[in-house]
Amino acid sequence: MSDVIVAESLEKRFDDVVAVDRIDFAVREGEIFGFLGPNGAGKTTTMKMIQCVSPKTAGTLRVFGMDVSTRPRQIKQHLGVVPQENNLDPDFTAYQNLTIYARYFGIPRKTAEERAEELLDFMQLREKSDVLIDKLSGGMKRRLIIARALVNDPELLILDEPTIGLDPQARHLIWEKLKEIQAQGNTQVMTTHYLDEAARLCDRLVIMDHGKILVEGSPGSLISEYAGTDIVEADSTPQVMACLDAIGASYDAVGDVVQVFTGRPHDVVRALMESCSHEKVLARPATLEDVFLKLTGRTLRE
Ligand SMILES: Nc1ncnc2c1ncn2[C@@H]1O[C@H](COP(=O)(O)OP(=O)(O)OP(=O)(O)O)[C@@H](O)[C@H]1O
């Protein structure tokens, strides 16, 4: 499988602010690759450099083997972009938003009309074809923006927070569609704050913080490497800590709670229940949030 994007020591500075700090990553053909991290981590800035709309200040960045600095026009022909904000044209219908966008790519009118109809069907927006943008729900607008990004039949789709602010049902429908698009051979790069979205969609991801990449891998491998398979949480009382010390379980204190990262949650829970039965004890699967917490000592939304 070849690499669609390769970044080496990629940097973006805004005067004194180093938004992206010499990062390396490679996105493989056909995968969904995620950038996960808190606000200000540098995710959107990285996406903008890939889209050739924000010049890098150092390092190299190649998309489809082409340098973003010298061949932006050729690269853009292969991209579909789903921006974080809703930038549909409110003066036009759903259908017109697609056909007018197709003009930017020089797609002939008849082909554009056929493509618009196909995409409205695919995104389950057929009955909204003649509706103005203001009359669409948040989920419909996001689906239309994804449809618009597919107008030029791109090999690479770039999605900045594709489901931000949507309810669970609307998010699930978009996840389903993105998986279908991937199954058609498309590569996708996305940023997200949502851990469940990253875990569900991404084949591989990087976790970013302060412009740097902290770790890279599949969601499952990152969780098992950095957070174990399960986590047992209990109140951080002297009895709980004495019990954990007695069974040789290592733990981290997070606020009023201790966390034990373990592959044997039942054994830890049993020991805690036997010696401190009055304490609150909870066992749960480890998540990407735990990986971030383990790496930085902070939660993603602090
Ligand atoms: N045009 C700009 N001028 C100056 N600083 C900027 C500009 N764009 C981004 N930054 C700074 O670069 C850093 C990274 O911002 P970026 O938007 O890439 O983060 P992010 O991870 O995408 O965050 P969010 O999840 O909020 O979109 C931040 O410190 C931000 O303030």
Express each pLDDT in 190-200 by its tens digit.
Answer: 999 888 899 99
Task: State if residue 54 touches ligand 1 by the CB under 6 angstroms criterion.
Answer: no
The Å distance, Cα 45 to ligand 1 centre, comes to 6
Mutate to test the pocket of ligand 1, among 10, 11, 17 (most ligand atoms within 8 A of CB): 17
What's the pTM?
A: 0.89
Q: Does the structure show a pLDDT above 80 at 62?
A: yes
Q: Which residue has the tokens 């992206």?
A: 20
What 29-32 contacts at long range (C-beta under 8 Å, 24+ apart), as own/partner pairs, is 29/1, 29/2, 29/3, 29/4, 29/187, 30/1, 30/182, 30/185, 30/186, 30/187, 31/182, 31/187, 31/188, 31/203, 31/204, 32/178, 32/182, 32/187, 32/188, 32/189, 32/190, 32/201, 32/202, 32/203
Q: What percent of the chain lies above the pLDDT cut of 70?
A: 99
- Please state, in angstroms and rounded to a whole number, the distance separating the CA atoms of residues 134 and 177: 23
Strands 66-67 and 58-63: antiparallel
- Please state, in angstroms and rounded to a whole number, the distance separating the CA atoms of residues 156 and 259: 40
Confidence of residue 301 (pLDDT cuts 50, 70, 90): low
- Of the two residues 112 and 263, the one the predictor is more confident about is 112
Q: Which of 249, 256, 252, 264 is nearest to 291 (CA)?
A: 252
Task: State if residue 18 touches ligand 1 by the CB under 6 angstroms criterion.
Answer: no
- Average pLDDT for 125-139: 95
Compute the mean pLDDT over every residue in the chain, rounded to the nearest whole number.
92
Task: State if residue 9 touches ligand 1 by the CB under 6 angstroms criterion.
Answer: no
* Residues 271-294: tens digit of each pLDDT: 888 887 767 888 988 889 888 888
| pLDDT at position 1 | 63
Q: How many Cα atoms are found within 13 Å in the side-chain-facing hemisphere of 173?
A: 16
- Please state, in angstroms and rounded to a whole number, the distance separating the CA atoms of residues 109 and 112: 5
- Average pLDDT for 136-147: 94
- Of the two residues 144 and 164, the one the predictor is more confident about is 144
Cβ burial of 206 (10 Å; 0-12, 13-18, 19+) is buried
Confidence of residue 221 (pLDDT cuts 50, 70, 90): very high
| pLDDT at position 292 | 87
The Å distance, Cα 212 to ligand 1 centre, comes to 13
Confidence of residue 302 (pLDDT cuts 50, 70, 90): low
Query: Could you tell me if the ipTM is greater than 0.90?
Result: yes
- The domain segmentation of the chain, as residue ranges, is 3-216, 229-285
Q: Does the structure show a pLDDT above 80 at 298?
A: no
Which of 95-104, 147-156, 238-247, 253-262 has the least mean pLDDT? 253-262
| pLDDT at position 261 | 86
Task: State if residue 55 touches ligand 1 by the CB under 6 angstroms criterion.
Answer: no
- Please state, in angstroms and rounded to a whole number, the distance separating the CA atoms of residues 182 and 186: 5
Name the residue at shortest CA distance from atom 28 of ligand 1.
40
Q: Which class in CATH covers the domain with range 229-285?
A: alpha beta
| pLDDT at position 228 | 78
Q: Does the structure show a pLDDT above 70 at 61?
A: yes
The distance between the two most distant Cα atoms of the chain, rounded to a whole number of Å, is: 74
Domains 3-216 and 229-285 alike in fold = no
The matching CATH number, chosen from 1.10.10.10, 3.40.50.300, 3.30.930.10, 2.10.70.10, for 3-216 is 3.40.50.300
Amino acid at 192: T
| pLDDT at position 39 | 87
Are 244 and 233 a contacting pair, CB within 8 Å? no
* Residues 16-40: tens digit of each pLDDT: 999 999 999 999 999 999 999 888 9
- Average pLDDT for 139-151: 95
- Please state, in angstroms and rounded to a whole number, the distance separating the CA atoms of residues 47 and 39: 14
